[in-house]
């Protein structure tokens, strides 16, 4: 979520120059229940770049650009050939992005259950969702929404890639070299909650036999594979709100290592239920702007008071360039690289100086074979939390010395924080920015933080030719993930 900390194995300063540890963090406000003290940051060497980080005259840590090259082997180049989603703005990728470009807020009062006694009573709740045509009636009634969203988004992504189930083309792909990697942060939370309630009220005999299968986090990937007959790499990753990017990174590596030709990857989440809302309320993580929900998610604004829950799914079809060209696939964009690491700092709080995140960004650029100067668009994690927003900005400043040409925006300002699905939905927004030349606004920018020295595309969309883009996602537990995209160039 807003956990943006630093991995002890990735801090890059010699022992004598190590910065002093920051003061003990407070999650969002005083009285945080998370009382585990983080360890002091040990000095060490950067395992990713292998070099010491130098200081400039202003004593700011600076990471030097690398001379690595982009991948040229068509077997190892990874391209995006399909996108599918379920969102508060509907289930169509183009409609989703059009509503983002218009600056529309998808946040409203919760009516799925009685939230009147909660201190937060609003979210990015999906309404009118239907799985008709994608899930049969019996399974549609049984499945947790997390799985329904995953199945619909995954099948829509395959349709977009020209691989709709049952078509002649889908039957020609090597299914033993096609895999699924769709994760979730919370899993089948409704099924789990209902099962616990049945146990308490009526005893174990009233627990549905689908309780375990539909609650565990790997079932989204499994069900897609079962329905489509895909026998390649198949599992899920659960790294809280960094989940989707972790899945993209892992899926791409399966392709690069020659273990798969095609991967369906992304994330799904459906946690807007009483126990989900109550849990984040207990964390003191959420905005309480009940009188004006549509302006509650306001990344980088000095009056922000927490994030807003969202839900949905975002899935990409990723293929080796060689495989995509052989089947004549529509190539939408290219995945250049990515990186993941862990802060090993605190359960929920970000490290204010952003060292772990800056290391992750730098490593992603090295994996992609691009220099910081080539990046001119960042889809930020930007959750609208007091500490997280500025920690991410501090990390970005460490990597990018000149920010004058970089645009940075916050998808969560409109759809809320979709937890494990956020990276999937934001990757799709990033790719649409690349293909359309338009950046969606960061809405609710009323009173910007003075330290945010970027163009945040405040309140109005902007035309911008994207050269290289990065999309950031960070999660509770200190999980950091960054993925790098660009337009496809043969």
pTM for the whole thing? 0.86
Show the tokens assigned to 38.
């983080």
- Residues taking part in catalysis: 241, 381, 417
Q: What mean pLDDT comes out for the span 435-447? A: 98
pLDDT of 74 higher than 80 = yes
Q: Which of 94-103, 346-355, 476-485 has the lowest mean pLDDT?
A: 346-355
Q: What is the pLDDT of residue 323?
A: 98
Query: Long-range CB contacts (< 8 A, 24+ apart) of 38-45?
Result: 38/5, 38/345, 38/346, 38/349, 39/8, 39/344, 39/345, 41/6, 41/8, 41/11, 41/345, 41/355, 42/8, 42/11, 42/18, 43/11, 43/13, 43/14, 43/15, 43/18, 44/8, 44/9, 44/11, 45/12
CA distance 168 to 170: 6
What's the whole-number mean pLDDT along residues 39-57?
Answer: 38
Within 10 angstroms of residue 281's Cβ, the number of other Cβ atoms is 16
**Tens of pLDDT, residues 318-336:** 999 999 999 999 999 999 9
Of 260, 263, 255, which Cα lies nearest the Cα of 228? Answer: 263
46-51: average pLDDT? 36
User: What's the confidence (pLDDT) of residue 380?
Assistant: 98
Identify the pLDDT of residue 28.
Answer: 41
Beta bridge partners of 377: 407, 469
Q: What angle do CA 363, 93, 95 make, to 5 degrees?
A: 130
**DSSP 8-state symbol, 124:** B
pLDDT of 223 over the 70 cut: yes
Strands (E), 184-276: 262-269
- Residue 266 to residues 173, 203, 215, 424, Cα–Cα distance (Å): 20, 36, 18, 5
Say what the pLDDT of residue 165 is.
Answer: 82
Phi, psi dihedrals of residue 398, rounded to the nearest 5°: -70, -30
Looking at the predicted structure, is the pLDDT value of residue 2 above 50?
no
């Amino acid at each position: 979520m807003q956990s943006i900390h630093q991995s002890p194995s990735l801090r890059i300063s010699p022992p004598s120059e190590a910065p002093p540890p920051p003061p003990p963090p407070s999650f969002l406000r005083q009285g945080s229940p998370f009382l585990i003290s983080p360890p002091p940051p040990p000095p060490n060497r950067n395992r990713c770049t292998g070099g010491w980080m130098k200081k400039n005259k202003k004593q700011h840590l600076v990471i030097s650009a690398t001379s690595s090259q982009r991948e040229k082997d068509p077997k190892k180049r990874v391209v995006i050939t399909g996108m599918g989603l379920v969102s508060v703005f509907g289930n169509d990728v183009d409609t989703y992005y059009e509503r983002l470009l218009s600056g529309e807020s998808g946040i409203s009062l919760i009516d799925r259950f009685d939230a009147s006694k909660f201190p937060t009573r609003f979210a990015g709740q999906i309404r009118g969702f239907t799985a008709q045509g994608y899930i049969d009636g019996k399974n549609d009634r049984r499945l947790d929404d997390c799985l329904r969203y995953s199945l619909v988004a995954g099948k829509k992504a395959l349709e977009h890639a020209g691989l709709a189930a049952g078509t002649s083309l889908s039957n020609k792909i090597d299914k033993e070299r096609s895999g699924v990697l769709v994760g979730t942060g919370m899993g089948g939370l409704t099924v789990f909650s209902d099962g616990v309630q049945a146990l308490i009220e009526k005893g174990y005999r009233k627990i549905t036999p689908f309780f375990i299968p539909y609650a565990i986090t790997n079932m989204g990937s499994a069900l897609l594979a079962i329905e489509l007959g895909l026998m390649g790499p198949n599992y899920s990753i659960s790294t809280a709100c960094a989940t989707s990017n972790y899945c993209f990174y892992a899926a791409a590596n399966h392709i690069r290592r020659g273990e798969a030709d095609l991967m369906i990857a992304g994330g799904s989440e459906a946690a807007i239920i009483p126990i989900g809302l109550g849990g984040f309320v207990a964390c003191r993580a959420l905005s309480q702007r009940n009188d004006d929900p549509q302006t509650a998610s306001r990344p980088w604004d000095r009056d922000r008071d927490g994030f807003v829950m969202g839900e949905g799914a975002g899935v990409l079809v990723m293929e080796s360039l060689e495989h995509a060209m052989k089947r004549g696939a529509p190539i939408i964009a290219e995945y250049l690289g990515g990186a993941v690491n862990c802060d090993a700092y605190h359960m929920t709080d970000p490290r204010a100086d952003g060292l772990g995140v800056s290391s992750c960004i730098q490593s992603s650029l090295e994996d992609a074979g691009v220099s910081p100067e080539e990046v001119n668009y960042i889809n930020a994690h930007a959750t609208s939390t007091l500490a997280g927003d500025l920690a991410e900005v501090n990390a970005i400043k460490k990597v990018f010395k000149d920010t004058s040409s970089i645009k940075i925006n916050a998808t969560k300002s409109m759809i809320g924080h979709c937890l494990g699905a956020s990276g999937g939905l934001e990757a799709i927004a990033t790719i649409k920015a690349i293909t359309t030349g338009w950046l969606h606004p960061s809405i609710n920018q009323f009173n910007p933080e003075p330290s945010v020295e970027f163009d945040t595309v405040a309140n109005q969309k902007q035309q911008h030719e994207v050269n290289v883009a990065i999309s950031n996602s960070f999660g509770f537990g200190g999980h950091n993930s960054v993925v790098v995209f660009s337009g496809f160039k043969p």
